[in-house]
Structure 1
Amino acid sequence: MSTVIVCTGATTTFRELVKAVTSDKFIRILEENGVTKLVIQYGNEKADDVHISRAFFEECFAPVGQLEQDINGIESLQVGKVRVCGFAFSHSIASYIAESDVVVSHAGTGSILDALRLGKSLVVVVNESLMDNHQEEVAREFMSRGHCSVARPHEIASAVVDVLTHKRQFKKFESCTNKIVEGIIFNEASLAT
């Protein structure tokens, strides 16, 4: 039994990532590799009275079935042997990450550092629709140091399978490395402004 968590970012809807991880193909591949739970933090984008992120997440599952919502706002649906759970935002995302075996994350530095500090296997997906594509530089730097893999949305399934089957392993994120990487992130952020 394994759990995969997907962190798409808290503000805008990373549509390509949400669409990729809610696809029947992706969920079937997870099931074939022993994953029993898929947790998706799908974003908290709103406009007027419309929760854009939630509407898009629900739309992705419309062909499969109706999502049920619990009192905490967690939506869930059983797809084969995989329990899919989704939520917009959590102040305690680290607790969800801690309970997972593999993390698929957008290339936000906070999400990357949360996963690495908790010692999780990490697949980073760059949101190329964001301005100046600074996420690409940050993701590639973590990958070059051996801490994660980087995948495009259409490559996520194979990247996650490589982690689940131990074909891909990563270097432990040490506290001394932490200071170096945080410096790199600071430098990248300074160049982007």
Structure 2
Amino acid sequence: FTITTNDPDYDEVFYMINWSDGSEELLIGPFDSGENVIINHIWTETGLYSIQAKAIDSYDVESDLAIFEFSLSKTELEIVAISGGFGSVTIDIKNIGENIAEEVSSIVSVRGGLFSEINLTHTCSGCSECGTTLDPGAVKTENTGEAGFIIGLGSIEVSASAWANNAEIISKKTNGFVFGPLIIIL
């Protein structure tokens, strides 16, 4: 967070901050009037927070209380399916949490084949084309066809991971078989 106060008398300024998470109230300073002050804080629980801050100059003159509210929400993802097809592998990522997943990203790797000739990785890093959010209960599909066409013969291993800014990384592995461009997941 960045805080700035312009004291009319150009007095030095202190800041009193309550993070509304049960931690001690914070008094920091002095700072010059008009100086941008960067303050960091880490919340360990999800929930609605009401940050309260006020400026106090060197003569104990106080500003009005400024209140900033925000919600810190976590969610949970699950890779609900890994499926084969014609020349590609598809994964389905479901938001099984109660909050919107933000900046959803995934990576899918397909390795193997009779002579280890299959080595393909598809990455989606939350770009606008991939869809940056995922509503609770919604499913996002990623397909390795965007990274290349798979053709070969033999066993393969598929590794998939997904995460979001507010969800932990999850991973899933499975095996399959490639016969030409046909991919069968076991």
Into which bin does the TM-score normalised by the smaller protein fall?
under 0.3
Q: TM-score, normalised on structure 2?
A: 0.22
Work out which structure has the larger RCO, using CA pairs closer than 8 Å and 6 or more positions apart in sequence.
1
Structure-1-length-normalised TM-score: 0.22
Quick check: which one's strand share is greater? 2
Greater helix share, 1 or 2? 1
**Larger radius of gyration, structure 1 or 2?**
2
